Amino acid sequence: MDIPISHFNQEMIVRYLLGELPEKQQVEIEDQAFQDQQYLQNILAVENDLIDEYVRGEIPLNKRQKFESHFLASAERRRKVEFARALSTVASESEVFESVPVSSDAPRFLLNPLRAFIQSLNPAAAFSVATAALILVFGASWLIRDGLRQRSQLSQLRAEQQAQKAQQRQLQEQIANERSRNEELAAEVEQLRKREAPLSLPREDQSSVKPAPTTVALMLLPGLSRGSNQRPKLVIRQAAQTARLQVVVDPQDDYPRFLVELRTQRGQRVWGQENLSARATRIGHTIVLNVPAKVFGSGQYELSLKGTTAAGIIEDVGYYYFEVSKQ
Amino acid sequence: MPASANPNRKWSLTQEAFDGFLGCLADDRERAAEKYLEIRQNLIRFFEWRGCQFPEDHADETVNRVAKRVSEGEEIRNPMAYFIGVARLLVLEILKARAKESQALNEMATSSVEYVDSSDSEARIECLRKCLAGLSSDNRELILQYYQGDKGDKIENRKKLTERLGVSVNTLRMRTLRLREKLQSCVENCVNNIGM
């Protein structure tokens, strides 16, 4: 019996095949696949579709990288990709041939008047014309054969060109998305800074009535590059004992555990913590760090965030840059 | 050296152990052999899905480990579940070995494989044409039409095919999956025969 496609979560299977699912879900899929032949066949079909999309350059860039590092790890899988490439070429060739129907009656239609013409000539002239006709036939068949070979090469080139074009389109889209995301984040950071400014930089008259806070806070958002001039700034006054850093994590980075390291601009490690977990908050998934204020001096800092998978593998998640002003 | 698990293993599969192992799969030896091939194929798939570099070697290692346990008197009630359990432990070992390797190589990304197109594509295409010629005309037409076109065109093609053949999308998918497997196996044999 067919399993309706809706009951078979294709997107999840794609994530599974790209090694993006947590261990628990991987186990569930595998257990079902090895108990249910139909489910297994569906996974294999999704696998083929994924390979075909890769060959045609239809996979988005972020998935493409996963595909190459995880999916193509084994020689068997690489052979499957080679096969898909050949199948795509041959299928597009047959598309070309189907669009140009050839009538099998045509040669017979041409041959009959030619035969009648040759029969009407004297033997010497008939021999010459027949020889010329033979040369013409061989020449034409060679040309046709060569034409077919060129057409085959052309369709292969066309398939490759299509794949390249699709990849180029995806890259352009991705660059545009990243650019707009950076602009949004920069605007968000600017807003947050404006909102936080009265709190972290109290005016003279306010500081005279209120005691200086012992904890200062800063929110770090993903996506800002090292060279960005929109870095968030943490102002640490003398009385401050703890700097609370709220690190916002991309929801896709759903690692069970995280670890962070703080480094100066010169790369010197000043602080680190392991076994951290991200919590869902109003602004997204965040990790809260309470860093002793004494580890900071005035200057630029880099916070590296790494995720630990269920299997204990440590993977890079991202880098956050900020500036500290100690007063 | 690639990441591999348990390099100092001493136990090796003997004929007696293999016979005992087949015995736990089915009473009839022929049926047991079939079952063994099916389990091995599934194990290869499992290691492929988990992104391992040497799925066949790992599948054989899993079989060895299970055979060893059977020879030690362990009783297996659900063979596939048991094999997958052993295979999962092996994956953990492989990942640990890979992490160690990676650390030793100064965190170089050893697991990422740079994929380079092989230069044998012309010969593979020729082999595919030969293999296609060996199919019945219905099957040949089916598989070529199923894989024609990009995105929207492809979907439209497939829809037309289901209407023409009077089958569901999923049935069509399974039919082409089997044809594709058959074709791929034919192409691999052909490519190997011409010595690539």
Spatial neighbors of A134 by CB under 8 A, at least 6 apart, are none
Q: What are phi and psi of A119, to 5 degrees?
A: -65, -25
- Res A191: pLDDT: 72
Q: Would the pLDDT of A160 be above 60? A: yes
Residue B38 has pLDDT above 50, yes or no: yes
Query: B121-193, which class in CATH?
Result: mainly alpha
Q: What percent of chain A is modeled with pLDDT above 70?
A: 61
Which percentage of chain A shows pLDDT scores above 90?
17
User: CA separation (Å) from B48 to A16, A308, B6, B43, B93?
Assistant: 11, 22, 19, 9, 16
CB contact under 8 A, A72 and B113: yes
Say if strands A279-281 and A284-292 run parallel, antiparallel, or are unpaired. Answer: antiparallel
B14 touches chain A (CB under 8 A): no
- For residues B143 and B139, give the distance between their C-alpha atoms in angstroms, rounded to a whole number: 6
Contact A94 B180 (CB under 8 A): no
Separation CA B152–CA B172 (nearest Å): 17
Residue B45 pLDDT more than 90?
Answer: yes
Average pLDDT, chain A: 76
Closest of A94, A55, A107 to residue A77, by C-alpha: A55
**Residues ≥6 apart with Cβ < 8 Å to A321:** A224, A225, A226, A228, A231, A300, A301, A302, A303
Q: What ipTM was estimated for this complex?
A: 0.79
Interface-testing mutation among B40, B54, B141, B147, with chain A (most A C-beta atoms within 10 A)? B147
Residues of chain A with Cβ-Cβ distance to B127 below 8 Å are: 86
Q: Do A16 and B49 touch (CB under 8 A)?
A: yes
Q: Summarize pLDDT for B61-79 with one digit per residue, the tens.
A: 999 999 988 888 888 888 8
Q: Which fold has domain A211-326?
A: Immunoglobulin-like (2.60.40)
Single-letter code of the amino acid located at A297:
G
Q: How many CB atoms lie within 10 A of CB A307?
A: 20
For residue B180, pLDDT beyond 80:
yes
Bridge partners of A326, per DSSP, are A236
Cβ separation A92–B148 shorter than 8 A = yes
- Name every chain B residue with its beta carbon within 8 A of the beta carbon of A152: 125
In A241-297, where do the E strands start and end? 242-249, 257-264, 269-276, 279-281, 284-292
pLDDT level of residue A2 (50, 70, 90 thresholds): very low
Q: Is B183 on the interface with A (CB under 8 A)?
A: yes
Phi, psi of A224 (to 5 degrees): -85, 135
CB–CB of B174 and A45 under 8 A? yes
Please name the residues in contact with A247: beta carbons below 8 A apart, sequence gap of 6 or more. Answer: A220, A260, A286, A287, A288, A289, A303, A305, A320
| Distance (Å) of CA A59 to CA A50, A51, A170 | 8, 9, 8
CB-count burial class (<10 Å; 0-12, 13-18, 19+) for A271:
middle
Burial A54-77 (b: 16+ CB within 10 A, else e): bbbbbbeeebbebbbbbbbbbeeb
pLDDT at A226: 63
Of B109, B129, B168, the CB nearest to A90: B129
pLDDT tier at A238, thresholds 50, 70, 90: confident
CA distance A87 to B129: 9
Contacts of B120 (CB under 8 A, 6+ apart): A82, B191, B196
Task: Transcribe B77-144 into DSSP letters.
Answer: SSHHHHHHHHHHHHHHHHHHHHHHHHHHTTT--TT-------TTHHHHHHHHHHHHHTS-HHHHHHHH
Across the interface, whether the CB atoms of B50 and A26 are under 8 A apart is answered yes
The beta-carbon neighbor of A86 closest among B50, B80, B124 is B124
Q: In this predicted model, which residue has the larger pLDDT, A85 or B109?
A: A85
Going from N- to C-terminal start, the domains of chain B cover 15-104, 121-193
Partner A contacted by B2 (CB < 8 A)? no
Q: What is the pLDDT of residue A266?
A: 80
Give the mean pLDDT of A220-240. Answer: 77
> A86 and B177 in contact by Cβ < 8 A?
no
**Cβ contact (<8 Å) for A90 and B149?**
no
Q: Which helix (H) or strand (E) holds A303?
A: strand A299-308
Q: Which of residues 121-160 of B touch A (CB under 8 A)?
A: 121, 124-125, 127-129, 132, 143-144, 147-151
Q: What is the mean pLDDT of residues A204-218?
A: 60
Share of chain B above pLDDT 90, in %: 39
CA distance A179 to A185: 10
Rounded Cα–Cα distance for residues A11 and B92 (Å): 25
Report CA dihedral (A85, A91, A93, A99) to the nearest 10 degrees. -150
Tokens 């095949």 locate to: A17
pLDDT at B107 over 60: no
- Burial (0-12, 13-18, 19+ Cβ within 10 Å), B44: buried
Among A151, A150, A142, CA closest to A99: A151
What are the residue boundaries of the structural domains of chain A, listed by start?
5-90, 211-326
Which of helix, strand or coil describes residue B37? helix
